Every structure is written in C-alpha cells, then in structure tokens.
A and B are shown apart, each in its own frame.
Chain A
C-alpha cells in the first residue's frame, strides 16, 4: 500500500501551508534551525522509524500484553528493543529544554512526529509520553536539587515517569483522595496510600520510575485545596544519582483491559510497609494546580492518541476499499456479465471514506493549531499576543481532547465498517484500533468532564476574552473565504453556524448561572459536540481558503489534493452542518428532562 498511518502530503499542508511552521524560527532563537528542509527531514525520519519499528510491534504488544508475576511487571518482548532504539534516537523529549536533555523543537513540528509515532503504536508511546510529561513537572516546579537528581535521566529515557492521581474512591473527583503525606522532619515525607489505573505504573523498561504523586499532608484542608504534589521514586536515588534502596512502591495488580494491552495499567501500594519516602514538588497545598500543567499537556496528548487511531484507520480503510473487489458497479447492476469492482466504487463506501477524510483532516488541522498556539503562547513577541494564544490553548483543550476523541472513535468504527466482516476479525488491523481508541474517551478526564470544563470554566475564562478572540479568528477566515468565488457559498453556511455558536454560548453561559444550572450541565456534552462541529467547520474552511488560492497555479500532482480539500468542505457543509444546526436547536431547549426525572422513575 502506498501510505500507512498518515497522508504525508496533508501533514505538509498543515505544517507549511496552513501554519507556516518555518516562521517560528524567526520568533525564538532556539527555533532558528527549524527551517522547512529541516522540518521535512524530521518528518521523514520520524515516519521511517514509526513504519519500520513501531508499527510492526503494535500487534505483538496487543497479543502478548503485559503480565505481573512475583511482583514483577513484564512488558511485551518487542517493546524493550523499541524503547532502547527510541532513546538512542533521542526522541523522548523533543520539545523540552536542551539544557536538561530535551531537543528544543517547536511543538508545531513535534506534532508530525507524534502523529506518526502514536499512529504506529500508541500503547508503547505512553511510556515515553508520560515520562516527558512527568519530567516537565520536575523542570517547572522542581528545586535545583530535584532537577539535578532526576531530570536528565528522565528526558533521556534512562528512567521513566508516570502520574499518580486516581484512587479507588477518587477518580473524576480527585479532591476525595486519601493518600497521606507525613513530614519526616528532614524535609522529606512518609507517603502512604493506594493508587489505581496508573499507566506505565510499573514495568521492566527502565531502571527506575519516578512518580509524581498527589497526596494530602496531614492536617491539610479537605478537597482539592489540601492536595500537594510529591516526587516518589520506585528506587530511592543516592546522592551520586544512582538508584538505591527500594522505596516501598509495590505493584499489587495490573488491569485486564479492552485495549492498549501493551501498556501496563497498575494498582500501586505506596508505603504499605512504612518505607515510602517522597519529596515535595512545588508548594504545599498547591499540588492540584501544579498537576494541571501535566494534565493539560496530557489531555492534548490523549486527543492526539485518538486522532492517531483515526488517521491510521482511515489510511487502512482507503487502501482496503481500493483493493477489495466486491459487488458490481451500481450502474451495471442488471448486467449479468458485469464484473465485480473495488468497493471504493460503491456510493455508500465513498460516503464512509468522506466522513473519515473530513474528520481526519479537520482534526489534524485543529490539533496542530493548538500546538502552534502553545509555541506562540511561549515565544510570541508581545505579552498581549502571548496571552491571546494561551487563551486559545485553554479554550480549545477540551475540544481537542473531548470532541476529537469522540469523533476519532466514530472514524475507527467507520473504518471497521469499510472492511465489512473482516473488520471484526482480529487478523485485520481495525479491531485493535477500535479497541485501543476507546479509552481515549475516558481517561485524562472523561469527555463529560471535558464538556463541563468547556461550559463551566473555559466559556467565562478571563471574562470571556479568549472565546471572543477565537470568534475574531474565525471572522478573519470567513472574510477571506467570502472573497473566493468557488467557496463563498460554503462560507455563508459556515458563518451561520459560527453565529449560532456565539448565540448559544451566551444562552448556555447564562443558563449555567441561573437556577437551571443543572439543566445547563446536562447539556454540556451536546454543547461540546456543537462547539466542536463549529471549530471543525472553521478548520475545513481555513484549509479550503488556502487550497482554493493555490489551485490555479498548482502543479499537476497537487491539483487533486487541493480539490480534495475543497470537497471535504463541501461534504461537511452539505451533510453535517445541518445536523449541527439541529444540535444548536436542541441546546436552545436546554432540556431539563435528565435532571427532572426522579431516581425512582428509572427501573428499579
């Protein structure tokens, strides 16, 4: 097959033509080396590694999975070699500070590598991904001593990292956690508690694992206000940096899951023998806020995981549809001599492929844009600009996680449908993609939590300035699109939806502050769907503006590509935006049925 995981041309389109990633080299000295040629070379090498090494180990990881025997967690055999190769290539911390062993790459550029890596084998990628995230916490909040002791070993993959939030009675409600931290009198704390659902919580890939742990210092207030963040290594670290005594972090079980079998999901018992020591990371009782630095990055990563499953499913389905011969052409149905045709000739299969194409393209543009905003939030020229881009990151994060993974799962399901019965058979890749994708809707804050974040926090953030700025950006795209004959008809339809989002946002914001607050939150997820649909429409319109402008002078080989982008916009505006308008109509009802129904009205 021609391409796997991703459409390279579309990656280049988003990277260079939509976002002009090369321009980042001018705003920050550290990015000076990232010109177009270098970016393309990075994409080529990331793809090469993904296709040759990560992808072949994906099925193996699924089938062999992880095991726990005699207290030792074993990862799939093929993952050991992968992890060694991945670290030799120095891919673990591409966007982190070179002073601590990172590569200082713009996040925008790293998006392309992340897409190939995660699309090839995201259960594996969780080990380095969480390590980078945990390292980022140490870099941001750690004392000099903590940084010296941990950081370089984490960013080079010698040691791994995790995040320990969830407990049996504290999942979505993190504030209910009971893990305790008692001062030892020497600046360290004795940690005691039980954590569950810890991705990569214990394994055999690295000589040490560093756990950022949320716990409550004895006597601290209840709820999230009394939570502090601690660094708890699996093996205590000697002053010379070598791993020392076992730190009483015991893996008591691993979960048997629907998907991501290659990643060990552990129950960890901390200090069950009274020998677990941690050091405070950041300030006392400010742990929740600190942890959000990692959680926000992790939410974007989860959006990427879901999207990566979707793009991989799309490329497989497209290849299958072109090669699978089945059924006559509909126009030849009465002809007894007509031969079977590739299923891509069938209208319903084409429709499925178009659903996959439009979502995958829109999601790619959205996710890369959010990473572009992260780069700008850090390095834009003025503080005003930085604040604007930071606002975009915050408003778009729940959509990039919640909306994207909801749609990504649908895309994987469509991909399975294209394969017909073979899609349901484990011998083919669709079943695993669908299974692996499903967790992205749940972990790192369920998509319901994301929707509540969007409605409850992000809409009114900074008195609504970020959301207004976002509407401003959309207006710019609309103005450009209306100038172009070939797409102005679609632009008018997209504009209607954008205007509707503005109207419904105000309505939902007001309802959330009225006595109908519960009804508002019962409609938070549908609101996220409609807002996400609108952002997708904006992205598809933005892409079409570029494609329409370039089409006339395009090289012969680029013409179908640009025409395809405009077809995606046409398909989306004609088939999906009417549904979005329906969603908005439903939101204006803000139905109270779900909250009004008494518990005893459900079956007993």
Chain B
C-alpha cells in the first residue's frame, strides 16, 4: 500500500513572530516545525506501513527551507519525500491542493492520503477537501479513530455533544487527522541518522505546469493580535457581581 502524507512546514507555535512589511514576517529568526496536526497523519501512515508493509511518501508544498522540516517527518519513519517549492509561506488552499495533486499524479497516485485537520499558521481548513474533490475521492476531516482494511477505510469523528459519526468509504480517500488519532512518536536516534539518507525530490510549481500567480485568494495584510488590555475585576457579593456583569454587557458593551 502506498500512502502519501501531506506535511506543511509551519512556524513553531511557541515562536514570537515579528511582522515585516505588509504581508511578510521575519521567518529567518524563528523555528519551523512539522504542522502538529500533520504529525498525527505521519504517525498513522507509519503505523499502517509497519503493520501491512508498503511505502510512506511525504508531500510538501512550501519554501525550500521546508526540507529540514521534512527530515523530521522522515525520521519518524516515512520512506521518502516530494517537495514542491514556492516563494511564499502563504499559498492559497486551491493552489496548494492543485500542487499536491499534480505531485502525486506525477509520482503515481497513492492508495491513501493523510493531511492534518488544518494548518496552524493559516488555518483555512480547505486543502484536504479541495485535494479530494480534484481527485474525485472521498474525504473525512477531524478523524480521531481509523481502521483500514483491504479496500475500505472506517473513520470516526467527533461531531459535538459527545456524539461520534462513523463513516465507511472506499480507497483511495483523504483522511484529515486530528488529536486523539494516535500519539506521534519521537524519532529514534538511529532513524534520525537514516533520515538524512532518504530521498527528497524537489520540483517547482512551474515544473508541474502550475502558475504561482494564479491564486484565488491573496494575502492583503498581516497584523499582530492586539494585546488585551483593560481587564476589570468586579468586586462584591455574587449577587452584586452578577448584577454588575449584566449591566456591563447590556449598557457598556451592548452585547445583550
């Protein structure tokens, strides 16, 4: 079984990001990591490979520096990788999906595709749907339990209120992984050593016949989240506190 895992190279969520100009940020000053939700996909793919054999291929669309992030995914047990290089961190989801599709078609379509449920930088939560639609295959997002058996996959996802939905679908399909699916492993030291010898095929968008300027969504401006100020402690008895809170919500903030 051939499994592709779409991995995005994203800023570490613990990093302090400094915005540079209108739409840039000082990416050379911060650490990048495997998108945390994609790690669940890598782990699940590697587990399936360990159980049933086959091959796990990492597919990334990102800046050339993403190669270092890909090595971490390879150290978790993936076999090789494809990196479609771009100039921007913020490619829109439709172009990302097109690039992923083209790269996979070029390499030979897999039996199963994993993505994360979303990326922690842009959080547009669209790539997996667009990718599946363009390939004409089923997609389920936010999958927390998965079994793959022969020609079908059974995915469970939480739908709120403690309820779970169970979906059975044919292969190939796209699975958007989320927390709870597994516990991503830490690479073993010998696997770190092996990772650097694994192959990363690099290609550009143009090599795949795609035009970087043909984006449906463009980034206008990046702004830091304003620091929250003016927190106010409401004093008094519970009754007084509640009365005052309702007054603030109605009169001052006008949200009620």
A residues lining the B interface (CB < 8 Å): 1-2, 8, 33, 35, 37-38, 40-42, 44-45, 48-49, 52-53, 85, 88-91, 94, 103, 105, 555, 557
Contacts and interface: CB of A to CB of B under 8 A. Distances in A.
A40 B189 contact: no
Contacts of A49: 186
Contacts of B188: 88-90
A44 B72 contact: yes
Contact of B192 (A1, A35, A41, A53): A41
A2 B15 contact: yes
A409 to B, nearest CB: 29
Given A41-B75, A557-B28, A90 B16 contact: no
Contacts of A105: 189
B84 to A, nearest CB: 21
Contacts of A90: 188-190
B68 interface: yes
B14 A1 contact: yes
B199 interface: no
A44 B189 CA distance: 12
Given A89-B189, A94-B189, A41 B195 contact: yes
A41 B200 CA distance: 15
Nearest to A87: B188
A297 to B, nearest CB: 19
22 contacts: A2-B16, A8-B31, A35-B196, A37-B68, A37-B196, A38-B196, A40-B68, A41-B68, A41-B72, A41-B192, A41-B196, A42-B189, A44-B72, A45-B72, A45-B75, A48-B72, A49-B186, A52-B186, A88-B188, A89-B187, A103-B190, A557-B26
A316 to B, nearest CB: 14
A52 B185 CA distance: 12
A48 B71 CA distance: 14
B29 interface: yes
A590 to B, nearest CB: 50
Residue picked from B28, B68, B189, B193, most chain A C-beta under 10 Å: B189
A105 B190 CA distance: 11
A48 B193 contact: no
Contacts of B186: 45, 48-49, 52-53, 85, 88-89
A2 B193 CA distance: 28
B72 A38 contact: no
B193 A45 contact: no
Contacts of A42: 189, 192
A55 to B, nearest CB: 12
Contacts of B71: 37, 41
Given A1-B14, A557-B28, A45 B68 contact: no
A48 B26 CA distance: 22
Contacts of B16: 1-2
B43 to A, nearest CB: 13
